[in-house]
Amino acid sequence: MKRTKKERQQLLIETIKNNPFITDEELSIQFSVSVQTIRLDRLELSIPELRERIKHVASKSFEDELQSLSIHELIGEMVDIELDKRAISIFDVKLEHIFKRNQIARGHHLFAQANSLAVAVIKDELALTVKSNLSFVKPVKLGDRVIAKAIVILKDQEKNRTFVEVISTVENEIVFEGQFEMYRTNEPSKGDTK
């Protein structure tokens, strides 16, 4: 379906608002136009390129929000968090993360991103992984951008446990899934008024 420039640009605004991590290449496929057309549309609309959008989202200060670990202990770059509810991080696969022979990311990096995100989402001074159930769904390769999303699915106050699900994607395809059972102290943490 052929869209007018105005219609395409309106959809472009909405698409980027819903997914600030979408690339110009993905947008060109979605809208059936060239990458150059997408870049020109972004320029006209004053929408920054992907790298700048990520920096903007990541520029929010998460250091003050995190309680169970430091922002520097997180594997990947935090882009969103609501403690005890959800969190998102981005991990770019570089040369140091892959097997040289086949350019595939070593699994412990994907696990580390997901596990550190499961720890980070906990609103407590102490959060430790008790148990995890993992599925490596699809190989991740050099240059891929892994977006991990953690969601708290259950809090068991009596047993001091929180259950977190993490789903990691590359270009909207699931590459990793993990369910984490987390121990927490349930003691009043910084920012609590108890």
- State the total domains in the chain: 2
Do 84 and 179 have their domain in common? yes
* Residue 58 dihedral angles phi and psi, to the nearest 5°: -75, -15
What's the token pair of residue 180?
């984490």
Q: Which of 39, 57, 75 lies at the terminal end of a domain, its last residue?
A: 57
Do 72 and 156 have their domain in common? yes
What's the token pair of residue 181?
């059972």
| Strand arrangement, sheet containing 145-156 | 77-82, 86-92, 145-156, 161-170, 173-184, 127-136
pTM (2 d.p.): 0.67
Domain containing 19: what range?
5-57
Dihedral angle of Cα 110, 115, 181, 186, to the nearest 10 degrees: -170
Do 37 and 123 have their domain in common? no
Do 80 and 109 have their domain in common? yes
CATH assignment at residue 33 = 1.10.10.10
Do 75 and 101 have their domain in common? yes
Nearest Cα residue to 129 out of 163, 106, 156: 163
Q: Give CA angle at 141 (37, 26), nearest 5°.
A: 20
Do 82 and 23 have their domain in common? no
What is the tens place of the pLDDT at every residue in 101-144? Answer: 999 999 999 999 999 999 999 998 899 999 999 999 999 999 99
Contact criterion met (CB below 8 Å) for 93 and 144: yes
Do 84 and 180 have their domain in common? yes
Do 40 and 106 have their domain in common? no
Cα within 13 Å of Cα(75), Cβ side: 16
> Does residue 180 lie in a domain region?
yes
* Residue 15 dihedral angles phi and psi, to the nearest 5°: -65, -45
Three-state DSSP at 134 gives: strand
What is the tens place of the pLDDT at every residue in 144-177? Answer: 999 999 999 998 888 899 999 999 999 999 999 9
> Does residue 193 lie in a domain region?
no
> Does residue 192 lie in a domain region?
no
Do 151 and 167 have their domain in common? yes
